[in-house]
Amino acid sequence: MVTITIYIADSNQETAIRVFLDALKVEYKIDETNDTEYLLASPQNADHLQKSISQNEQGKLTKVSLDDTWKIINFRQKYY
């Protein structure tokens, strides 16, 4: 089994995807989890998220380019 995650922008896209999958007789399930609720469900995660939001509002953030993000990910995969 392979899992594919599709981020649907609106109800028209959702309808089109469902029609397409139904036509191919592909079994699927719809996960309507609210990401914010999920992230705030854990007290530790909620605290961390609130701290990050506060830091952002105070301008205390570090901008990282997409290329640098991939370099960091590849470095961590190689050495950790």
Per residue in 13-58, pLDDT (tens digit) is 999 999 999 999 999 988 877 777 888 889 999 999 899 889 999 9
Indicate the pLDDT class of residue 71, thresholds 50, 70 and 90.
Answer: confident
Distance between CA atoms of residues 74 and 72, nearest Å: 6
Q: Where are the domains of the chain?
A: 1-61
Q: What is each CA distance from 73 to 41, 66, 79, in whole angstroms?
A: 27, 11, 10
Contact present, 47 and 39 (Cβ < 8 Å)? no
Phi, psi of 37 (to 5 degrees): -60, -40
Distance between CA atoms of residues 11 and 43, nearest Å: 33
User: Whole-model pTM?
Assistant: 0.42
Contact present, 8 and 14 (Cβ < 8 Å)? yes
